[in-house]
């Protein structure tokens, strides 16, 4: 006797859970019905990211590195599913390697990017890197998985939390990644994934007063100025891909990516009486 298979329902990933869009809307992408995130979904994702920030930023760098490595393990176990959702096994392997690369930096950032500064006076002067806060990311359309991972990993390794708008035309790779994230040790709310139309979601995140930085790598060139203006209301840090300098940015990780999501705190401490 033949049977009908249970068709997968592709939902959002917010606060460690997989809710449907509060509007009930879906749109078709890659032959599947995918949740169409609304303004409220975007606000809920920001709220979840803010709620997770203190705990994630307060974790030890060593622990964050362990958690990211665990994510790489979960991606490895789901490599077949991820490969079906993107360009193939090689893209999955590059994405996994990217997570491992950034995981290795977790406990090295304070030493490499911070330090003790010489001063002419009876003081100690220290520079300490700190996470920026909630970072919104507009993921590139392609490569759907590697491009997404290349933007998420440098955000979260230093203690930030994120709200990501996945590829509009190829969102399934992001949703498969969300399942790997859900089964890893990442606390709920550290990574929140929205699917839907970028033209609707990007202005909401750019103007949201509880978002501290926004990565516009996936934004349309025609929208960049408007998004930067919207981001100015609360002085968000705005990052854009420098295609002239870094044409192949998905395959060239570096410290400059980490610097984009870090603030630097300088501490003075007197010596003696």
How confident is the prediction for the chain on average, in pLDDT? 89
Examine residue 5 and state whether it is found in any structural domain, yes or no.
no
User: Residues 85-133: pLDDT tens digits?
Assistant: 999 999 999 999 999 999 999 988 888 887 777 887 888 888 888 999 9
Examine residue 20 and state whether it is found in any structural domain, yes or no.
no
Count CB-CB contacts under 10 A for residue 119: 10
Q: Dihedral angle at the C-alpha atoms of 68, 69, 72, 74, nearest 10 degrees?
A: -90
Examine residue 133 and state whether it is found in any structural domain, yes or no.
yes
Three-state SS string over 126-142 comes to EEEEEECCEEEEECCCC
- The count of structural domains within the chain is 1
User: Residues 36-52: pLDDT tens digits?
Assistant: 999 999 999 999 999 99
SS3 call for 148: helix
Pairing of strands 213-215, 134-138: parallel
Examine residue 19 and state whether it is found in any structural domain, yes or no.
no
Examine residue 119 and state whether it is found in any structural domain, yes or no.
yes
Could you tell me which residue, 220 or 174, shows the higher pLDDT? 174
Question: The tokens 């998004």 sit on which residue?
Answer: 227
Q: Is 263 exposed, middle or buried (0-12, 13-18, 19+ CB in 10 A)?
A: middle
For residue 244, the model assigns a pLDDT of 46
Examine residue 81 and state whether it is found in any structural domain, yes or no.
yes
Range of the domain at 78: 26-270
> Residue 67 sits in a domain of what CATH number?
3.40.605.10
DSSP letter for each residue of 36-101 = ---HHHHHHHHHHHHHHHHHHHHS-HHHHHHHHHHHHHHHHHTHHHHHHHSS-HHHHHHHHHHHHH
For residue 43, the model assigns a pLDDT of 96
Q: What are phi and psi of 40, to 5 degrees?
A: -65, -40
Q: Are 148 and 174 in contact (CB under 8 A)?
A: yes
Examine residue 15 and state whether it is found in any structural domain, yes or no.
no
Examine residue 2 and state whether it is found in any structural domain, yes or no.
no
SS3 call for 127: strand
């Amino acid at each position: 006797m033949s049977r009908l298979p249970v068709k997968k329902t592709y939902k959002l990933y917010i606060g460690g859970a997989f809710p449907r869009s509060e509007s009930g809307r879906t749109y078709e992408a890659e032959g599947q019905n995918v949740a169409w995130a609304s303004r409220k979904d975007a606000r809920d994702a920001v709220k979840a990211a803010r709620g997770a920030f203190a705990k994630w930023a307060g974790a030890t760098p060593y622990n964050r590195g362990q958690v990211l490595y665990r994510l790489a393990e979960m991606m490895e176990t789901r490599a077949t599913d991820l490969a079906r959702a993107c360009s193939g096994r090689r893209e999955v392997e590059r994405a996994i390697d990217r997570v491992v690369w950034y995981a290795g930096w977790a406990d090295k950032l304070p030493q490499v990017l911070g330090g003790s500064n010489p001063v002419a006076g009876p003081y100690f002067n220290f520079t300490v890197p700190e996470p920026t806060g909630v970072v919104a990311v507009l993921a590139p359309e392609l490569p759907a998985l590697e491009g997404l991972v290349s933007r998420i990993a440098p955000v979260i390794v230093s203690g930030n939390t994120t709200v990501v708008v996945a590829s509009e035309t190829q969102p399934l790779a992001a949703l498969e990644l969300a399942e790997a994230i859900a089964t890893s040790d990442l606390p709920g709310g550290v990574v929140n994934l929205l699917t839907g139309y970028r033209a609707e979601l990007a202005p909401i995140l750019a103007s949201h007063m509880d978002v501290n930085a926004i990565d516009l790598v996936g934004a349309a060139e025609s929208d960049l100025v408007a998004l930067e203006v919207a981001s100015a209301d609360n002085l968000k840090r705005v990052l854009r891909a420098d295609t002239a300098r870094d044409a192949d940015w998905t395959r060239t990780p570096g410290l400059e990516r980490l610097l984009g999501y870090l603030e630097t705190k300088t501490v003075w401490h007197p010596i003696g009486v």
